[in-house]
């Protein structure tokens, strides 16, 4: 699940003006040098409002549509070739980073801001896990919770040790057409097609498929080379090296077998093998672009959560090596 209200939270990122005519506007964006009471309670109220609205909206639009039960656990570690776990790491990392920036905007100290970011990220993500725990269709996932902690810990440890994020979690999602292939039921009594199966799982609109289609998603760890090797002055400060993870032919959580109206279907594993994809690519750290305009810096920070399209080398779990002139 992608984060909610990213743009709103990024309003709390730093900004500094380039002209005196805009000084009041730019002062609003600039982080406070010391604790700013008004900003703190503004941020606190906005965060509480977003969190409450997020929880209520999520329950009404999603969980209320499915049967409820007593709180229980569910082991989904083997689902979706762990693409969903990569998504949890990314989302938890991003949310913690956003709340940290919001806290710094109010003038809270570095150490306390790291703690606030980590706690808020934990609360946001745990809310989803608890709602899962009361849903008959799912359950509280220990592996999801663990992935959340990896994302939050990755942010907190880097910020504490280096005062910056040298290893950034990013994502990309592409639109891939689904082949219109007829699929016979196992007993031969009915047919469907791959597009119908994909639409029922992930939706048919661009937004739905961007958010939900695991076949389209790639998650990246993007490392800033200059930060890792500060003595290499010939390297641009914005140049990153990224490793990515994706998967293909996922039309079921654990396997490509499902039932529709009591009729069972299964994809031929020889024609549609479930496989993993590992990528090596270049990337750009947009936050390293030099500017004194902190409002522009916040926009660049917002865009920095997405992997920049670049040449990439792909290695699949069945041994195929593919070079992409431009991969996103």
Please name which of 155, 161, 141, 140 lies closest in space to residue 92, comparing C-alpha atoms. 155
The reply to whether 178 and 120 lie within a common domain is: no
The reply to whether 207 and 149 lie within a common domain is: no
Number of C-beta neighbours around residue 21 at 10 A: 9
For every one of its 328 residues, what pLDDT tens digit does the chain have, with 9 covering 90 and above?
Answer: 443 333 333 333 333 333 444 566 666 667 777 787 788 888 888 878 877 887 787 777 667 777 888 999 999 999 999 999 999 999 999 999 999 998 988 889 999 999 999 999 999 899 989 999 999 888 999 999 999 999 999 999 999 999 999 999 999 998 888 888 899 999 988 999 998 999 888 888 888 888 889 999 999 999 999 999 998 888 999 999 999 999 999 999 999 999 988 899 999 999 999 999 999 999 999 999 887 777 888 888 889 999 999 999 999 999 999 999 988 7
Instruction: For residue 216, give Cα distances in angstroms to 37, 172, 178, 248, 279.
Output: 44, 8, 11, 8, 14
The reply to whether 101 and 201 lie within a common domain is: no
Coil/strand/helix, residue 246: strand
The reply to whether 224 and 136 lie within a common domain is: no
Tell me which of 145, 163, 181 is where a domain ends: 163
Tell me which of 115, 135, 163 is where a domain ends: 163
Q: pTM of the entire structure?
A: 0.88
Residue 79 to residue 271: CA distance in whole angstroms: 20
Instruction: For residue 197, give Cα distances in angstroms to 79, 179, 205, 296.
Output: 17, 11, 14, 42
Model pLDDT, residue 308: 94
The reply to whether 220 and 251 lie within a common domain is: yes
Domain ranges, residue 320: 166-328
The reply to whether 243 and 307 lie within a common domain is: yes
Coil/strand/helix, residue 126: helix
Tokens 């979690």 — which residue? 169
The reply to whether 131 and 215 lie within a common domain is: no
Q: What ranges in the chain are assigned the alpha helix state H?
A: 6-9, 23-29, 37-61, 83-105, 110-133, 142-162, 194-202, 206-212, 225-228, 294-303
The reply to whether 122 and 199 lie within a common domain is: no
The reply to whether 159 and 181 lie within a common domain is: no
The reply to whether 229 and 296 lie within a common domain is: yes
Residue 54 to residue 249: CA distance in whole angstroms: 31
Model pLDDT, residue 17: 34
The reply to whether 143 and 194 lie within a common domain is: no
Count of the separate structural domains present in the chain: 2
Instruction: For residue 292, give Cα distances in angstroms to 100, 288, 289, 295, 318.
Output: 21, 12, 10, 9, 48
The reply to whether 202 and 317 lie within a common domain is: yes
Model pLDDT, residue 4: 35
Tell me which of 126, 147, 163 is where a domain ends: 163
């Amino acid at each position: 699940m992608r984060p909610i209200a990213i743009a709103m939270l990024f309003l709390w990122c730093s900004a500094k003006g380039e002209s005196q005519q805009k000084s009041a506007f730019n002062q609003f964006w600039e982080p406070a040098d010391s604790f700013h009471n008004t900003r703190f309670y503004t941020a606190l109220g906005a965060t509480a409002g977003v969190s409450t609205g997020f929880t209520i909206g999520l329950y009404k639009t999603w969980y209320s549509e499915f049967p409820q039960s007593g709180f229980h656990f569910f082991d989904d570690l083997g689902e979706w070739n762990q693409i969903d776990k990569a998504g949890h790491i990314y989302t938890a990392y991003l949310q913690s980073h956003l709340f940290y920036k919001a806290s710094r905007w109010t003038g809270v100290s570095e150490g306390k801001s790291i703690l606030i970011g980590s706690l808020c990220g934990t609360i946001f993500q745990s809310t989803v896990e608890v709602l899962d725990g009361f849903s008959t269709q799912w359950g509280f996932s220990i592996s999801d919770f663990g992935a959340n902690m990896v994302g939050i810990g990755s942010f907190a440890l880097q910020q504490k040790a280096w005062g910056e994020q040298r290893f950034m979690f990013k994502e990309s999602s592409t639109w891939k057409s689904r082949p219109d292939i007829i699929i016979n039921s196992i007993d031969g009594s009915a047919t469907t097609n791959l597009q119908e199966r994909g639409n029922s799982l992930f939706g048919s609109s661009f937004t739905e498929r961007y958010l939900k289609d695991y076949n389209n998603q790639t998650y990246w760890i993007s490392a800033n080379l200059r930060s890792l090797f500060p003595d290499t002055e010939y390297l641009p400060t914005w140049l990153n090296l990224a490793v990515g993870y994706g998967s293909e032919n996922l039309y079921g959580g654990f396997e490509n077998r499902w039932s529709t109206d009591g009729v069972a279907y299964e994809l031929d594993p020889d024609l549609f093998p479930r496989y993993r994809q590992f990528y090596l690519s270049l990337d750009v750290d947009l936050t390293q672009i030099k500017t004194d305009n902190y409002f522009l810096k916040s926009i660049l920070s917002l865009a920095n959560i997405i992997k920049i399209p670049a040449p990439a080398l792909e290695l699949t779990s069945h041994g195929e090596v593919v070079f992409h002139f431009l991969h996103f």
